[in-house]
């Protein structure tokens, strides 16, 4: 298993995903969510620092506060980004040269309308935590030397774009409409 920035058990706890849902399906979602959410906001240097400290159990001070506190939560930002990515994969099965949905005698799949609602709700949660993280970093920028990392292969932190969706519908100009 690859070093992740969040725990699979925490993902399951916050999202209500069944404990029997196989971790091998969740791990790639967390990796992708880390790239899309955490690295985009934090930049590569700070994301690597948080992931390393999380896995070594050495998160302290402002890094712990940024990772998960009442002031900011990178953990929850990544959890809800992973959920957004995972919901369609929980409904649709890809394989054998086809994409299908499956029903059994005991369970029936939700439709695309219900899936869209769940994704909007997860998106609203992710937007809240992402904005909280951006505000925290703006207010404490001097505490994070990683934000000044100028290595060319690293993404820089993005503390200017804010997600204003709060679960409403997306329009082309990055503003959200009811």
Residue 152 has pLDDT above 70, yes or no: no
- Residue 148: what pLDDT? 85
Q: How confident is the model at residue 7 (pLDDT cuts 50, 70, 90)?
A: very high
- Residue 169: what pLDDT? 45
- For residues 132 and 121, the model is more confident at 132
The 10 Å CB-count burial string (b at 16+, else e) for 134-149 is: bebbeeeeeebebbeb
pLDDT digits (tens, 9 = 90+) for 92-129: 666 666 555 555 555 566 676 777 777 888 888 888 99
- Residue 165: what pLDDT? 56
Q: How many residues does the chain have?
A: 178
Q: Which segments of the chain does DSSP mark as H helices, in order? A: 8-15, 23-33, 39-42, 44-56, 61-67, 74-91, 112-139
- Residue 18: what pLDDT? 75
Mean pLDDT along residues 21-37: 86
Asked if 164 and 175 touch (Cβ cutoff 8 Å), the reply is yes
pLDDT digits (tens, 9 = 90+) for 36-95: 888 889 999 999 999 999 999 999 999 999 999 999 999 999 999 998 888 777 766 666
Name the pTM for this structure. Answer: 0.77
- Residue 50: what pLDDT? 96
- For residues 58 and 150, the model is more confident at 58
């Amino acid at each position: 298993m690859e070093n992740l920035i969040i725990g699979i058990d925490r993902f399951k706890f916050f999202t209500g995903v069944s404990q029997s849902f196989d971790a091998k399906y969740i791990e790639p979602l967390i990796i992708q969510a880390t790239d899309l959410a955490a690295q985009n906001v934090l930049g590569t240097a700070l994301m690597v620092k948080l992931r390393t400290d999380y896995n070594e159990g050495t998160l302290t001070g402002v890094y712990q506060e940024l990772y998960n506190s009442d002031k900011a939560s990178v953990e929850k930002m990544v959890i809800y980004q992973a959920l957004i990515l995972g919901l369609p994969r929980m409904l649709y099965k890809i394989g054998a040269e086809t994409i299908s949905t499956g029903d059994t005698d005991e369970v029936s799949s939700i439709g695309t309308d219900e899936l869209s609602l769940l994704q909007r709700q997860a998106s609203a949660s992710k937007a809240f935590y992402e904005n909280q993280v951006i505000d925290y970093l703006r207010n404490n920028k001097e505490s994070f030397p990683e934000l000044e990392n100028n290595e060319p292969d690293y993404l820089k932190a993005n503390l200017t774009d804010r997600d204003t969706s709060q679960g409403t519908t997306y329009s082309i100009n990055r503003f959200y409409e009811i």
